[in-house]
Amino acid sequence: MRPDTTEETFVPAWWLPEGHSQTLWRKFSGAETVEHVRNRVDLEDGDFIDVDFLSASQMDAARQRALVVLLHGLCGSSSSSYILSLQRHLSKEGYSSVAMNFRGCSGELNRRGRAYHSGVSDDLQEVLNAVIETFNPDAISLVGYSLGGNVLLKWLGEGRDYAMINRAVAVSTPFTLGLCSQAMLSGAARLYSGYFTRRLLSDFLAKRQAFKQAGAADFDLLSELGDMSHVSSILDFDEAITAPLHGFRNASEYYERCSSIHFLTGIAVPTLLIQASDDPLIPLAALPDPRQLSASTRLELSAKGGHVGFVSGRNSNWLEHRILRFLHD
């Protein structure tokens, strides 16, 4: 166990003994749907972000003024199984929640050429401003998964005004983006890289074609990126699309400027980091050491759990209960 971490008591389900099975079960086992109320946040650049609200259970009115904002991972949405599961648990415990869909992730093409990436903390700021104005909560807690965890931690460490934020949780965060991208070029991680790359590239090409047909103002921006036949990995995608589309010189600069590991010392709100040693997407070398954690931040590293897995049984919901315990404290 690393000296900067606390070993948690997560024990995997016997039929999901290692990181790959934990990761894939969470991804493909599905989750019970919830009845969202969709709100659209209009952004300053003319684009929009959809957020999906779920009200608190009437059984516990005491905490209904506490709102939890959830951020999904790469190629996810408010319909991702881990988002739906946590929202359902939050509602039962008396917390209202809002699941943020990053640009283009709500089922409708966004209006601008830019999309989303691991460092879009400005988008999070605009969403939080709108959420506060719309719902007028007494306090806000934040929970981010994977890419969403990186965005959340970057936002927290940038010195933003977060007087209303009382707690934050980041799960399976790719703290050091360059190391994570490199790790996905070899071994079993290449399977995950292939899945994400195909999804991202398909979405990009569909968007470029739709913008062409509609005569959208940003079509030229997408067209100038050129041929994409060589893109076969996350690194290729970030070099060819993410970086130039969002103002970075190359993938290396994007990774360096957006890795949340550089922002952890600036976090002042109580924050819990939940990671697993057998995460197939995030190598241990990508995790922070003690000097990179602020006094308000706690890293809990489980031996097992995979990537956004932490499934200890069909109905045990270990991850959701761990998050809820931290929010209750």
Q: Looking at the annotation, which residues are catalytic?
A: 146, 279, 307
d(CA 232, CA 285): 24
Q: What is the number of other CB atoms lying within 10 angstroms of the CB of residue 34?
A: 19
d(CA 144, CA 136): 21
User: Across-strand partners of 50?
Assistant: 40
d(CA 55, CA 34): 10
d(CA 143, CA 134): 19
Strand pairing category for 66-71 and 96-100: parallel
Strand pairing category for 96-100 and 48-54: antiparallel
Separation in Å, CA 117 to CA 35, 121, 232? 27, 9, 18
Q: At 27, give phi and psi (nearest 5°).
A: -70, -45
Q: What is the number of other CB atoms lying within 10 angstroms of the CB of residue 223?
A: 12
d(CA 156, CA 142): 10
Q: In what order do the strands lie in the sheet with 297-302?
A: 5-6, 297-302, 271-276, 165-171, 139-145, 66-71, 96-100, 48-54, 37-42
Residue 242 and residue 251 in contact, taking contact as beta carbons nearer than 8 Å = yes
